Amino acid sequence: MSAPGRPKRASSTSRLACRSDSPGWGRSSRTVPSPGSSLGEAVAPRQGGTPLPAPVRRVSPWALGLALAVLAAWAGAAAAQGGHPFGQPEAAGWQPGGWLGRVFGQIALWQSHFYRQLTGAVHAWRQDGHAAWMLIGLSFAYGIFHALGPGHGKAVISAYVLANRQTARNGAVLALLSALVQALAAIALVTVAAGVLNLTGAAMNRATLWLEIGSYALVTALGLWLVWTRIGQPLCAGLGRRRAGAGPGGAAPLPMGFAALSASGGNGGGPGKGDGAGAGGSYLGRARLACPAPSGGLWACGCRQAHFAPPALVAGRLGAGRAWTAVLAVGLRPCSGALIVLVFALSQGLYAAGVVSALAMGLGTGLTVAVLAALALAASRAALGLGAKAAWGARLYRIVEGLAALAVLALGLALLGGALAMAGLAGGN
Amino acid sequence: MPLRRFAVLAFCLLCLAPAAPARAHPHMWIDARARLVFDAAGRLAAVRQVWLFDEMSSAYSLQGLVRAADGEYAAKDLQSMADDWVAALGEPQSHYFTWVERRGRTLDFGPPAGARVRWDQAAGRVSLSFELPLKAPASPAGGAFEVRVFDPTYFVAYDFTASGAVALEAAPAGCRAAYLPPQPLDPDSALRLAAVPADAPLPDDLQAIAGKLSHRIEVRCP
């Protein structure tokens, strides 16, 4: 597993990226001062809006991710429940219970309603090219309701956007991109496996399972990274800070490491680029250099990485590497509905209908996920609005952010464990 | 903290919180027929089913098989498909998606027989027929039978609503079969079901609730 971020900048830049909104940080007893370190002057004047170097991290969290994934595989294999005789059902992750459960039941009905009409729509297209619009419309509607139902896509995108303080615009871009990738994955799989190699449906189910494992491994990796940056590092930093005592002018130490967090909480998650950049500016205005030379090791976390990337960094642009991880995590596993429609269209000698249908499904799915991600953002911003007035409001936001990160990790581990268990069982047969 | 904001936040957390295992949605629709076959001694001996797949999943399952110019498939290809399916259905977690119960106990099946796949070219649909003999034929004197058909993963949606979809064969006089469609799951039970680990036994009351999620055929004899 390679780190898909934007890594490997020169190490001097990486040191420059270290900063803190709390002057006391650098005194963490975990860090080792390097001779002649006077980077403080070099860094402090940076202004918001300037693209900052990406936080450089070591491979360790990813290696840790791999190790955890292997563990999950073992755990999952122990509880193997086995494959499905006819297909490769989508692991659905979780869905809310209660009244929301009833809503989901209704959504599933609508979804099935549209899906079952796709057969007729493909036939109609074969009779009359104008009926293409019916297929497109039905596929689009199916996609919309499909994404409202259970599935890992919306959970991953929403949580990623929340935990990363992305803007609604970026969330929408991520959602649409991942849905497009998912549609293209289905088209590519069926084109190659069925169209070119003429593999059986069972062989395609196995291929789907492997794509699924890749997808869930990425979710897990993303979750690990989010948990590390949103929870691990802040906690670690908070501990270091407590050990060193409050720095000059610093706030009194608070439990759970959130003291360090609350200071910048009110700035994050601005709705737009301008907002984000402004917030970033004030954030950086308070920044002090807190970073001596790299002391090495995963747990020397007081430094080396931006603990809370200012919105200018995360929201201004998508951060190609990690964003693609999220997009691939969602999009790599093709949707079963799209696969079946594509194979059916192929069997009818009308492959174009399948391709158009899969793309229309993807558009519907992407729009729904975009709306859901925006809702999640709006909700967290409402909470964030308090941050300006009360420090604990900001802390609450940090908790939301941390929970979102944990949710991605938990979802990834659960899905990966299940998929690997299924693969183990399929291989054993 | 203003109530509104709290509500928004709570909603947000609710969406992220794991609460219940999701029910996947079906991608396969089967028009099913079931015959409950009795032996000469008047005991329930076998469940004979025909599952007619929808057009799309029929195409998916035939993918990769050689199709002759007349649109037909080789008999041996269809037979190996039938054998593969029945073998896969026989895995413990699938249990042929069929359970025969009496007084809450599941009666064991012997090896399945007569597995066959037919291809209806005009309808563009595939059907699978197979028979599940009971390991030990059961006399109706021991109480009513309940035959359940159900895919726990919800990948397959069964439909038994066609007329004549459920019937008795060679049954003693006076025996009746009643078809009971699946009941929707109430949210509280869904949450409780979700809390039970997959490999743990269900408490009795939950088992009764879970049983109602499937298509049920009640067989009563006087």
Question: Alpha-carbon distance A164 to A401, whole Å?
Answer: 8
Contacts of A376 in chain B (CB under 8 A): 12, 15-16
pTM of the model: 0.69
Q: Does A35 touch chain B (CB under 8 A)?
A: no
Is the per-residue pLDDT at A3 higher than 60?
A: no
pLDDT along chain B (222 residues), means of 10: 52 43 69 95 95 95 92 94 94 90 91 96 96 95 90 84 92 92 70 59 66 84 88
Cβ–Cβ gap B25/A146 under 8 Å: yes
pLDDT in tens, A366-391: 999 999 888 888 877 776 665 556 66
Please report the pLDDT score of residue A383 as a whole number: 66
DSSP 8-state code for residue B108: P
Amino acid at A74: W
Q: Please check whether residue A11 is in contact with residue A294, taking contact to mean a CB–CB distance below 8 angstroms.
A: yes
Amino acid at B211: G
Cβ–Cβ gap B85/A86 under 8 Å: yes
Best mutation target, B6, B14, B25, to test chain A (most A CBs within 10 A) = B25
Please report the pLDDT score of residue A194 as a whole number: 92
Looking at CA atoms only, how far is residue B196 from chain A in angstroms? 14
CA angle, A402 then A405 then A407, to 5°? 110
Please report the pLDDT score of residue B129 as a whole number: 97
Looking at CA atoms only, how far is residue B41 from chain A in angstroms? 34
Is the per-residue pLDDT at A77 higher than 80?
A: no
Please report the pLDDT score of residue A305 as a whole number: 35
Average pLDDT of the segment spanning A49-75: 44
Which residues on adjacent β-strands are paired with residue B166?
A: B34
Please report the pLDDT score of residue A4 as a whole number: 39
Tokens of B31: 């028009």
Question: Alpha-carbon distance A65 to A225, whole Å?
Answer: 8
Report the share of chain A in percent with pLDDT over 70: 54
Residue B105 main-chain phi, psi, to 5 deg: -105, 140
Question: Alpha-carbon distance B12 to A375, whole Å?
Answer: 8
**Better-predicted residue by pLDDT, A127 or A305:** A127
Sign of the dihedral through C-alpha A87, A90, A94, A100: negative
CA A287 to chain centre: 28
Please report the pLDDT score of residue A407 as a whole number: 83
* B residues 59..98 contacting A (CB < 8 A): 59-65, 84-85, 88-89, 91-94
Lowest mean pLDDT among A104-118, A313-327, B27-41: A313-327
Of the candidates A105, A115, A376, which has its C-beta nearest B15's C-beta?
A376
Name the nearest CA neighbour of A308 among A337, A326, A287, A330.
A287
Q: Does A297 touch chain B (CB under 8 A)?
A: no
Please report the pLDDT score of residue A386 as a whole number: 56
- Chains A & B: contacts with CB separation below 8 Å: 177
Please report the pLDDT score of residue A121 as a whole number: 92
Average pLDDT of the segment spanning A423-429: 55
Question: Alpha-carbon distance A40 to B181, whole Å?
Answer: 72
Please report the pLDDT score of residue A392 as a whole number: 67
Name the nearest CA neighbour of A110 among A70, A64, A148, A66.
A148
Nearest CA in chain A to B96: A85
Q: Does A379 touch chain B (CB under 8 A)?
A: yes
pLDDT confidence band for A411 (50 / 70 / 90): confident
Contacts of B31 in chain A (CB under 8 A): none
Which residues on adjacent β-strands are paired with residue A288?
A: A20
Is the per-residue pLDDT at A110 higher than 50?
A: yes
The DSSP code sequence of A170-230 is HHHHHHHHHHHHHHHHHHHHHIIIIIIS---HHHHHHHHHHHHHHHHHHHHHHHHHHHIII
Element (H, E) at A40: helix A39-43
Q: Which residues, in sequence order, are CB contacts of B54 under 8 Å at separation 6+?
A: A116, A119, B28, B29, B30, B125
Question: Alpha-carbon distance A336 to B25, whole Å?
Answer: 10
Amino acid at A357: S
Please report the pLDDT score of residue B128 as a whole number: 97
Please report the pLDDT score of residue A279 as a whole number: 33
Is the per-residue pLDDT at A79 higher than 50?
A: no
pLDDT confidence band for A82 (50 / 70 / 90): very low
Cβ–Cβ gap B156/A82 under 8 Å: no
Alpha-helical regions (H) of B139-198: 187-195
Q: Does A119 touch chain B (CB under 8 A)?
A: yes
Q: Which residues, in sequence order, are CB contacts of A417 under 8 Å at separation 6+?
A: A72, A73, A75, A76, A79
Q: Does B154 touch chain A (CB under 8 A)?
A: yes
Please report the pLDDT score of residue B194 as a whole number: 61
Tokens of A399: 């908790």
pLDDT in tens, A223-238: 898 888 888 887 888 7
**Better-predicted residue by pLDDT, A403 or A6:** A403
**Cβ-count burial A369-390 (b if 16+ within 10 Å, e if not):** bbbbbbbbbebbbbbbbbbeee
pLDDT confidence band for A87 (50 / 70 / 90): confident
Please report the pLDDT score of residue A230 as a whole number: 81
Please report the pLDDT score of residue A168 as a whole number: 84
Of the candidates A115, A198, A201, which has its C-beta nearest B61's C-beta?
A201
Name the nearest CA neighbour of A342 among A185, A164, A165, A186.
A186
Alpha-helical regions (H) of chain B: 3-16, 55-62, 75-89, 187-195, 204-211
pLDDT in tens, A178-193: 999 999 999 999 999 9
pLDDT in tens, A281-318: 333 333 333 333 333 333 334 333 333 333 333 443 45
Please report the pLDDT score of residue B190 as a whole number: 64
Question: Alpha-carbon distance A405 to B189, whole Å?
Answer: 29
Please report the pLDDT score of residue A155 as a whole number: 79
Q: Which residues, in sequence order, are CB contacts of A411 under 8 Å at separation 6+?
A: A93, A94, A152, A155, A156, A159, A219, A223
Please report the pLDDT score of residue B44 as a whole number: 95
Best mutation target, B5, B8, B60, to test chain A (most A CBs within 10 A) = B60
Nearest CA in chain B to A410: B18
Cβ–Cβ gap A201/B60 under 8 Å: yes
* B residues 187..206 contacting A (CB < 8 A): 187, 190-191, 194, 198-199
Dihedral of the alpha carbons of A264, A265, A267, A271, in degrees to the nearest 10: 150
Quote the ipTM score: 0.81
Q: According to the per-residue pLDDT averaged within each range, which of A138-142, A333-337, A381-385, B181-185 is highest? A: A138-142
